[in-house]
Amino acid sequence: MSTEARTPPSAALGAGVALARQADYWLTVARRTWRATAVSSFLAPLFYVVALGVVLGGFIEADPDQLEGASTYLAFLAPGLVAGHAMQLAVGETTYPVLGMFKWNRVYDAMLATPLTPTDVARAHLTFVVARVALACAVYDVVLAPFGVYESWWGPILALGAQTLTGAMFATLVYGYSCRITSEAAFGVLFRLGVFPLFLFSGAFFPIENLGTVGAWVARLTPLWQGVSLSRMCCLDTLDAPTALANLAVLLAITALGWRWAVTGLEQRVAR
């Protein structure tokens, strides 16, 4: 059935109305699933911080010149780790949950049988994902405050914006990917060749200069490094205007392209 047959133009709703009409569904999903996601969203990242930042970090001699201005390894690790967590959470929320809307529970079919358009449905779903990412990162940032990883009071606020934008960027990209695949086996490729290498080699755990000249430039071209760099500069109060603006511009540009990729992916899927 074509998209036009499902959603006549005359029946199309405004963006705000369409979002409001789906709010009850997504709030119900949040209430029913928060316990299942509490460990992956909040507890597991804290174990990373304690194990790597506190325990392992206690054996690492911190040199601010080698740790991008951080006085301790924990202060260097935490901002990048939260940005990496934003990516992982966004990817987790836009892989199997999105494919399931088509393949298993058919929720999208029910939504699109109403005056909602694919754009309305994608907007609501991605809003839910970004809100969940923002909440998880905010809790993470608050818990880190007593560890002395922030050099200014506004640092964690700006860092939260960078982390949320990082999550939004990956949410739109992976949403579009999930709309275009037919088997969950394709997620294995995404995780092995995309998510894991980005998490390990985008500067979250060690300065990218350790990768060598070529490796460092490759890392700088990755989307996650933009979020890690911006998050860390905000937390450490080491903002370099050209670098920060470049990071922000890349994040916004990829998110905008990702949004279009997500919407067209959903439109193509429901038109089959």
SS (H, E, C) 229-267: HHHHHHHHCCCCHHHHHHHHHHHHHHHHHHHHHHHHHHH
In this prediction, residue 247 carries a pLDDT of 97
Contact residues for 61 (Cβ-Cβ < 8 A; gap 6+): none
Distances (CA, A) of 84 to 27, 149, 196, 200: 26, 17, 10, 9
pLDDT tens track of the chain, all 272 residues?
444 444 444 346 788 888 988 999 999 988 887 777 776 666 766 777 777 666 665 656 666 667 777 878 888 888 998 999 999 999 999 999 999 998 888 899 999 999 899 999 999 999 999 999 999 999 888 888 888 889 888 989 999 999 999 999 999 999 999 999 989 999 999 999 999 999 999 998 889 998 999 999 999 999 999 999 999 999 999 999 999 999 999 999 999 999 999 999 999 998 87
Mean pLDDT of the chain: 87
Span 198-213, pLDDT tens digits? 999 999 888 999 899 9
Q: Whole-model pTM?
A: 0.89
Distances (CA, A) of 167 to 86, 114, 177, 220: 5, 29, 15, 18
Nearest CA-CA partner of 268 in 196, 191, 181, 165: 181
In this prediction, residue 9 carries a pLDDT of 45
CB 228 within 8 A of CB 205: no
Span 157-178, pLDDT tens digits? 999 999 999 999 999 999 999 9
Nearest CA-CA partner of 136 in 225, 200, 40: 40
In this prediction, residue 170 carries a pLDDT of 98
Alpha-carbon distance of 208 to 264, in angstroms, equals 35
**Identity of the residue numbered 90:** A
Nearest CA-CA partner of 202 in 190, 217, 213, 192: 217
In this prediction, residue 4 carries a pLDDT of 45
12 secondary structure, DSSP code: P
At 62 the three-state DSSP class reads: coil
* Residue range(s) defining the domain that contains residue 45: 3-270
In this prediction, residue 161 carries a pLDDT of 97
Say how many C-beta atoms besides its own lie within 10 A of residue 32's C-beta.
9
- Greatest Cα pair distance, the chain, in angstroms, is 66
Number of domain units in the chain: 1
